[in-house]
């Protein structure tokens, strides 16, 4: 309740000072063609390939234990869906992650997917990513086909199952690769938060963990 009052007050403030909401333009995944430059400096425009159905983006941070825990799973998913028209990318949207740090992280966790540095955080904003690890599948038209967790191995922070029982990201990739609708298109990502440089959009989105 107090929290709501504070948010309401902040909202009022934002209304009074519209300049503050400058960076809070709504995420629009349709705007520009996708162009992703990986750590090796290679720029890809995956939709130039007519067989590309959608992009699978996984947001990560090098020091997030849950994001790191999933790297072996993500490597397997990358192999399984290598030629399925849904290329997988790892995205660092933390501006403090240097190319060197990202490269060391690639080596330590044996990451095989292309790794993209999103220092401007434009990719994260474009698809409205907030968590690491958060998996997002976005199609050619900018439609979000899947958003959420990789699987349900973590039930809550610090609370793991013995094994995952729902493999949501895998199932979403499989559906998109087959041209089927994703049965469970929104799940809750669990892990760390992407540290946005400016608290853009604070007025609109409550800072509470989002239910996507």
> For residues 44 and 38, is the Cβ–Cβ distance under 8 A?
yes
**Residue among 47 and 196 whose Cβ is closer to another protein:** 196
What is the DSSP-derived secondary structure letter of residue 23?
G
> Is residue 65 part of the contact set for another protein (CB under 8 A)?
yes
Where do we find the tokens 């063609």?
A: 33
**Residue among 26 and 158 whose Cβ is closer to ligand HEC:** 158
> Is residue 165 part of the contact set for another protein (CB under 8 A)?
yes
Give the CA count within 13 Å in the CB-facing half-sphere of 76.
8
Pairing of strands 88-92, 115-117: parallel
Measured CA to CA in angstroms, residue 29 lies from 18, 51, 102, 190 at distances of: 24, 19, 25, 23
CB 156 → another protein: shortest distance, Å?
8
Contacts (CB under 6 A) with ligand HEC, residues 138-177: 157-158
Interface with another protein by CB under 8 A: which range of 118-126, 134-142, 160-168, 170-178? 160-168
The residues that bridge with 186 in the sheet, in sequence order, are 147
Where do we find the tokens 């869906």?
A: 81
With CB under 8 A as the contact rule, the residue among 69, 85, 112, 186 that binds another protein is 69
What is the distance between the alpha carbons of residues 14 and 22, in angstroms, rounded to a whole number?
Answer: 10
**Residue among 181 and 195 whose Cβ is closer to ligand HEC:** 195
Cα 69 to chain centroid distance, Å, stands at: 16
**Residue among 23 and 207 whose Cβ is closer to ligand HEC:** 207
CB 149 → another protein: shortest distance, Å?
13
Segment (H or E) for 59: strand 54-60
> Is residue 169 part of the contact set for another protein (CB under 8 A)?
no
> Is residue 131 part of the contact set for ligand HEC (CB under 6 A)?
no
CB 142 → another protein: shortest distance, Å?
27
Segment (H or E) for 173: helix 168-178
> Is residue 72 part of the contact set for another protein (CB under 8 A)?
yes
The residues that bridge with 193 in the sheet, in sequence order, are 131
Question: Which parts of this chain interact with another protein (CB under 8 A)?
Answer: 2-3, 5-6, 9-10, 13, 17, 19-20, 63-65, 68-73, 96, 108-110, 155-163, 165, 192-193, 195, 207, 209
Sites of contact with ligand HEC (CB under 6 A): 65-66, 157-158, 191-192
């Amino acid at each position: 309740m107090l929290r709501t009052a504070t948010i309401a007050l902040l909202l009022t403030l934002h209304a009074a000072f519209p300049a503050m909401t400058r960076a809070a333009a709504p995420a629009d995944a349709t705007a520009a063609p996708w162009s992703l430059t990986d750590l090796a400096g290679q720029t890809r425009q995956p939709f130039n390939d007519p067989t590309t159905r959608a992009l699978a983006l996984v947001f990560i941070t090098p020091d997030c234990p849950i994001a790191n825990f999933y790297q072996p799973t993500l490597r397997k998913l990358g192999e399984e869906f290598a030629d399925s028209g849904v290329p997988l990318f790892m995205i660092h949207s933390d501006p403090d992650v240097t190319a060197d740090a990202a490269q060391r992280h690639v080596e330590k966790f044996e990451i095989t997917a292309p790794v993209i540095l999103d220092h401007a955080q434009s990719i994260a904003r474009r698809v409205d990513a907030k968590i690491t690890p958060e998996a997002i599948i976005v199609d050619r038209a900018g439609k979000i086909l899947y958003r959420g967790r990789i699987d349900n191995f973590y039930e809550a922070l610090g609370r793991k199952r013995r094994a995952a029982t729902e493999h949501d990201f895998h199932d979403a990739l499989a559906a998109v690769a087959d041209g089927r609708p994703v049965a469970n298109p929104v799940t809750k990502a669990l892990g760390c938060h992407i540290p946005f440089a400016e608290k853009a959009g604070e007025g609109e989105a409550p800072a509470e963990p989002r239910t996507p």
